[in-house]
Structures are given as C-alpha cells and as structure tokens.
Structure 1
Amino acid sequence: MTPSAILAWLSTLDNEETKQTKLKARLPGTCDWVQDIPELQAWISGQSQHPVLWCYGLPGHGKSMLSSVIIDELERILCRPKQALVYVYSDYDKKIKGPDLLLSICRQLASQCSELPWQLVKLYSQTAPEGRRPDIDETMLLNVAMCDAFSHVFIVVDGIDGVTRDWGRELLLEKLQWMCNHGARVLISSGTHGDRPERCGCLEDIEDALQGEPQLLMRPREKDVVAFVE
C-alpha cells in the first residue's frame, strides 16, 4: 500500500500534460492581460463575495489557453503548503464523466497534503480489494475534509460543457459549490454559441446551477489575434 498506488487508484487523468501542451502553444507576449482582469483578481484575492467565477466564450476563442495561463499564474503566486491548486480539462473531443472529474480533484488534493489523509488510506484498504473506487459520497467526504485542511483551495475546471450529461452536470456543479463552503474557490469555463450564455440552449443546466454567480466573457485581445496571424 504505497502513496503512489493509492493516488493511481483514485484517478489516472493527466491534467498536467494537457496544461503543458496548451502553454507550449502560447505565443510570446500573448494573454499577459489576463492577470489584469478585475473580476479574476477579485476571485483570486477573495475580495469577491462569490467563490465561483463562470468564464465563457465562443468555440475557438482560446478559452483553454486562457484557463492554462490562469492556472500558471495561480501556481506562481500560491502559498504552499497552506494553499492548494487543482485543475481538470474536459472538451468535446475528450469528454469525462462527473464522478471522474471529482476523483481527479480528490487525487490532486491528496497529492498536495503533507501526508495522505487517514480517511483515504482507510477507504483504500477497505474498497480497493473489492475492485472498486470511491463512490460519489465517499469522494465528496474526502474532498471536503481535504479542503478543510488547507487555508485556500483553488479549483479550475476548463470545459464544463465537455462533461458528459449522463450523470448530471447540475449535480456536478452542486458538488463543486459544496466545496466552496469549505474554503474552495472555483473557476469554471464553458463554450457558448453566442456572446451571452443565456442565448445558448445547450447550457441551460449550467446556467441554472450557476445562476447569480459572476460571469466573465473570455475572448482574445486584438494584439493576440495579430500575433497569431503573423
């Protein structure tokens, strides 16, 4: 029973590789303006009364790149080991299920603890021999307990609209918002078919779940477009 075996039992999603692939495609001098967005800075600093920030934009407008730049900035300013950062990528070409997303969050939180939580070690010893992973309730109990162990937890979910709908995206968002009650701050990005999410019927479940949360339109600036074309 090694820590690496327990972490692999939780999830094998490689979000770090996805982030690095995105950032390698970033052109010099682009996306620097992201760190100056007032809504984003209020979310990071905790000055916003809302721990959830919903970022949206048209397909092909670089939302995943912007999410990766935000993640990179959070990693730079993070005060470890008191604070934790987790992130998950999903899109229409690489759909994931809600439970797998929560398990990936669980793995990333556990990997940033000074030692694996005793609750996780106990659950592994009880359920791994049966050939099963944690169910939703077990996963959330672990996630909440680990959120309580950090002073702040930042969660970035890129492409929430790429999560399969068979389990219920509203339920997934409910679980993420539950973690906000335990010190987490959650940034969620999604695509739209217009410049406002309420005009996009395929996001009705997300809109209902995030009603009242701050929204931020993500789109490239002119100098970024020029750099890409050149």
Structure 2
Amino acid sequence: MSAPDPLASIDMAFMKLKQSVDSIDAVDFQSTTLEDVWKAAFDIQQHQREKKSMRNMQRIEPFLQALEKYSKSIEVICNGTPYLPWIWLASAHAAILDKLLNAYALIAESMPRFDRLQKTFEHHPDFKKWSTVILSNSILVPTDFSDDEVRTMHEAEERYFANWKIVWHVVFDSLWKNFDSRFAGILTSLSRHADLIDREASSINIAEARSARLLAEQDIARRERERQDYQLQDSIAWLAITNNEQPDIIDRLLRRRQSGTGEWLLQNPQIMSWISDSRMHPIIWLKGIPGAGKSILCAHLIEAPAVHQKYSLIYYFCDSTSDSKDMCTQILKTLTLQLLQANIDSASLVADKYASRSTATLVQLRKVLPELIATVSATRIIIDGLDECRVADQRAILSELLRLMKLSGDRCKLLISSRENVCIQSALGKKPTVFLSEHDQRASIDMDIRLHVHEELRTLRESFDPAVIDKVEQIVVNKATGMFLYVRLVLSELEGRFSVKELFEAAESLPEGLHEA
C-alpha cells in the first residue's frame, strides 16, 4: 500500500475546514496557536468554576498533548503553507463542550506516539506521508459533516437567526446526533492509520537496522580482508622465495598436453585410492623412464577436479637447471606459500608466530608446515622430477617429506614422480608404485602417444592418403617405446616430404630410442 502525497492530503483537509467557517472566524483561526488553545481551555475551566458548572476539561489534555507531538511531524511538511494555524481547532461553547471533549478524548486515545516516532523518523519521507493521513482524516473531525449538512446550517442562519454565533450550537447539536455513526467510523479509520504508522515505523526500523547491520558486516569483512592481506604479505616476505616459477611450469606442461591423454591415470586403482579419503596409499611413487610424460601426467593430476576442488593441493616440479643451493628448503618454502595462498585464513598463524623474525629457516619450516596442514581438512602433495636434484638434495627432500607425512597423519597424502635410482628406490621401494613401463601402463601410454602423433600429423593428412599416414603413425609409436619426448624430437623430420616414398623413408630412418634422437 503506497503512502498518499502529503501536501495533497493536507490541502484537501484544509479546504474542507476553510469552507465550514465564515471569513471572520477564518481570520481568527489563521493566527491561533496551540498555546492559545491551552490558554482558552484554562480560561473556560476557570469560567466554569466561577459559574459552578465545571466540566472535566482534563479530557482534552491528552488530545492537545498529542497534537503538540504531532505538530513536530507535520510542521516540516506544512512549513511555508497556510495550513498549520488551522490545525488548532477547539470549541469554546459550553452547550456542546461535553460532546467535543468526549470526541477529542476518543481521538487522543487513537493517535499514535508521535513524540517518540518523530525523533526517530523525522527525515524519513514515507513516515511523513503517513503522518498526513492522521491530519486529513482525523484531526479535522468536527468539520466532517456532509455538504448538505453544512448547507442546512447556513440556511438555518439565513432563515431564522440574525446572529449565527448565538444559535450555532443548536444546529450543531441536532446534526451531531446524525454524525455519531460517522464519527465512530472516523475513530476506526484513525485507529487503523495509527496502527499503520506503528507498523510503518516498525518496518522502517527493521529495514534500517538490517541496512546498518549489513553495512557493519561489510565493513568488518573489508577490514578482515585487509588484515588477512597484510598478514599474507608479511608471511610471503618472511618466506623470501626468490624465484617462484611453479605456476609458469604447470601452465607450460598443461599447454603441451594433448587433449584426451592421461585420463587413464585418474582411473588407476592406486591413484584413485590416493585421491580418495581412504587411509590406504598415503604415499605413492609414480615411476617411469625418461621422457615417459611423468611431468605432464602430474600436471594433469593437479588440474583434475577430483583433486584440486576437494583438497588443498600443493606441488613442486624439480628442474635440473635450477640454481638453488638448498633445494630442500626451496621446496618446503614453496609448499608453505601455496598452502597459505589457498587458505589465507592460516596466514595469521605464520604472521603472528614466525614472520616477525628473520627469513624462514629449515628448522622453522619443519614446524610451520605441519601446523598449516593441521588447519585444513585434507592436503595432497605432488613432487615431480625428484631425480633431477642432486643426490644430497634428494636424500634431504625425502627425509623431510616422509617426516612431514608422519606428523600429518591421515590429513595429508604424498605422490612423488621420478625416474628410478638407488637413493629414491631405497626410500620409496616398498611404497605403492605406479610403474609407467609395466604392461598395463605401457599400453595406456602408447594410446596417448598415438593420440599425440595423430594430432601432430594432421597437416600431412591433407596431402597424403589417410592410410599412408596411419602406417607412419604406427612406425613412430613403435620407435617411441613409451617416450613422449622422443616423439617431440623426431616429428619435425617428417615435415617437408612431397611423396609417399620420401615420407616412408623419413619414418623408417627415424633414430631408435631417445638417446639417438
């Protein structure tokens, strides 16, 4: 229900009141104030006391008090208009005083609590609009006779009375009897509108409280984000990682991966167990010959929704060209950084407990990494290319990671990808192993190599019979012996061939094995 236009409502009520009085009274009313009404009521009471015809004038007191409070709500709307002085209407005729006093008492009972509401909602436009309903429908109650009734009073004046003010109360008294039922309806309307104002005030209060609460929550959230950002930056500065290339490495590997390849790894029973919440296979060794695509498989595993959407996944791709003098510390720093970036709430732990000191040491990393892992539900760690590190670094890295696994319990699982050597074999030889050179995995890898070769030879299919290209594909797959790296090295040898004979000769002359390639 929309609130009425305030000035339009007041204008209608004002014109109705103005038409009900003569011009002389209009001039008097124009300058009448609420203070004048209070004084008049007091004078009437004194006069009645002298005449020993006292009426209970206190019945009008609640009404005048309500009007005084109401004025604070309505004055803002009426400011600058001729309406305001007309609000203070009171009767001074003793014959009808009881009726009017009773009427005003009933009106006062139905008026809302303007004193409290005005202070709270003085600047709220909808509340002002609803306040005018009280004025237009109820404050001017004594003038709410029909046009015919008003005309009857004026005709009586012209026909029977020389001075209307002398007999006005007689006509009023007779018409008031017919007005009782309408007055009851007006009181009902007044009560209903007062209830509407209470409900409107309540809804405004609730809405504004909700708005204030939302603003407060947004401010708290903003300050909390800023605090977390500062703590994260302090923690990153404490880690002092000089060259974090890991995001670039995984991006490069994923771009090299041919769509559709590597899906078999996600279906491997041991890998599926490692991904799941099962306590089985907490540590897995992904073992394969050089060039078998281990790094691309690890990158694909990292990006698999079953892994990265469910767990805090941290990783490190080792590189033989790295100039890090302490690869073990570098790996632990990087894992810590990734865990912080994925769980920014944990930054406070590092910032408050460690970041105030000098840059991170291996001793501190041994403490902080298990603490961070304990703050998240589950963690998966992937280390690729461990064999590319120096043997001394391999031993240190394996020692720290296996120690970390013991401290973390079921919350953390580890996958290490590498070639086989004595150092790694001694540490992981008894762990569950996915060996890429075994029969089942070799068949899957050969299928992946075929997909890759098929895509790379797409341009040759436009120049040669598809059956010819299929034979060339088979030659390349057979010579690859499970090595993606071999395929990338030799495919360029097949370019620029203009006849089937040249193409077959080039394919047959491809080197055997990765070493020759």
Task: Render the CA deviation track for 1:149-193: whole Å, top value 9, x for unaligned.
Answer: 112110000111122334x422321221222231210000002xx
Q: Which runs of 5+ in 2 are unaligned?
A: 1-229, 437-441, 455-517
* Residues 151-160 or 168-177, more deviating: 168-177
SS in 1 for 2:259: coil
Distance 1:2 1:146, change over 3 A: closer
1:188 aligns with 2:416: yes
For the 8 Å contact 2:284–2:434, the answer to whether it is kept is: yes
Q: 2:264 aligns with which of 22, 28, 33?
A: 33
Q: 1:70 aligns with which of 301, 306, 325?
A: 301
Query: C-alpha separation between the residues in 2 aligned to 1:9 and 1:138?
Result: 11
Structure 1 residue 221: deviation in Å? 2.0
**Residue 314 of structure 2 aligns to which amino acid in structure 1?**
V
Task: Render the CA deviation track for 1:32-62: whole Å, top value 9, x for unaligned.
Answer: 2121111100111143533110001111111
* Residues 35-44 or 45-54, more deviating: 45-54
For the 8 Å contact 2:386–2:416, the answer to whether it is kept is: yes
Which residue of the partner structure matches residue 4 of structure 1? Answer: 233
**Residue 432 of structure 2 aligns to which amino acid in structure 1?**
P
Which residue of the partner structure matches residue 115 of structure 1? Answer: 345
Query: C-alpha separation between the residues in 1 aligned to 2:412 and 2:403?
Result: 9
Distance 1:125 1:152, change over 3 A: same
Structure 1 residue 75: deviation in Å? 6.6
Q: How many aligned positions are there?
A: 211
* Percent of residue pairs identical: 23
Task: Render the CA deviation track for 1:65-124: whole Å, top value 9, x for unaligned.
Answer: 001011111576533xxx311010013234651110111111111222232444421322
Distance 1:3 1:48, change over 3 A: closer
Query: C-alpha separation between the residues in 2 aligned to 1:75 and 1:88?
Result: 19
Which residue of the partner structure matches residue 428 of structure 2? Answer: 210
For the 8 Å contact 1:22–1:64, the answer to whether it is kept is: yes
* Residues 34-43 or 70-79, more deviating: 70-79
1:178 aligns with 2:409: no
For the 8 Å contact 2:284–2:415, the answer to whether it is kept is: yes
Distance 1:77 1:119, change over 3 A: closer
Distance 1:95 1:89, change over 3 A: farther
Q: Which runs of 5+ in 1 are unaligned?
A: 128-132, 192-196, 198-202
Larger radius of gyration: 2
For the 8 Å contact 2:275–2:307, the answer to whether it is kept is: no
Q: 1:222 aligns with which of 446, 454, 458?
A: 446
**Residue 17 of structure 1 aligns to which amino acid in structure 2?**
D
Query: C-alpha separation between the residues in 2 aligned to 1:108 and 1:204?
Result: 30
For 1:75-86, list aligned pairs within 5 A: 78-79=309-310, 83-86=311-314
Q: 1:98 aligns with which of 325, 328, 335?
A: 328
1:144 aligns with 2:340: no
For 1:125-144, list aligned pairs within 5 A: 125-127=356-358, 133-144=359-370
Which structure dedicates a bigger proportion of its chain to helix? 2
Structure-2-length-normalised TM-score: 0.38
For the 8 Å contact 1:54–1:189, the answer to whether it is kept is: yes
Q: 1:16 aligns with which of 247, 260, 263?
A: 247
**Residue 402 of structure 2 aligns to which amino acid in structure 1?**
Q
* Residues 91-100 or 146-155, more deviating: 91-100
* Residues 140-149 or 210-219, more deviating: 210-219
Structure-1-length-normalised TM-score: 0.82
Q: CA RMSD in A?
A: 2.1
**Residue 35 of structure 1 aligns to which amino acid in structure 2?**
L
* Residues 46-55 or 101-110, more deviating: 46-55
**Residue 453 of structure 2 aligns to which amino acid in structure 1?**
V
Query: C-alpha separation between the residues in 2 aligned to 1:15 and 1:77?
Result: 16
Q: Which protein, 1 or 2, shows the higher relative CO under an 8 Å CA cutoff with sep ≥ 6?
A: 1
SS in 1 for 2:258: coil
Query: C-alpha separation between the residues in 1 aligned to 2:322 and 2:356?
Result: 31
1:50 aligns with 2:281: yes
**Residue 292 of structure 2 aligns to which amino acid in structure 1?**
H
For the 8 Å contact 1:87–1:105, the answer to whether it is kept is: yes
**Residue 362 of structure 2 aligns to which amino acid in structure 1?**
I
For the 8 Å contact 2:315–2:335, the answer to whether it is kept is: yes
The ranges of structure 1 where at least 4 consecutive aligned residues each deviate by more than 4 angstroms after the TM superposition are 74-77
SS in 1 for 2:354: helix
Structure 1 residue 141: deviation in Å? 0.5
Structure 1 residue 225: deviation in Å? 1.2
SS in 2 for 1:124: coil
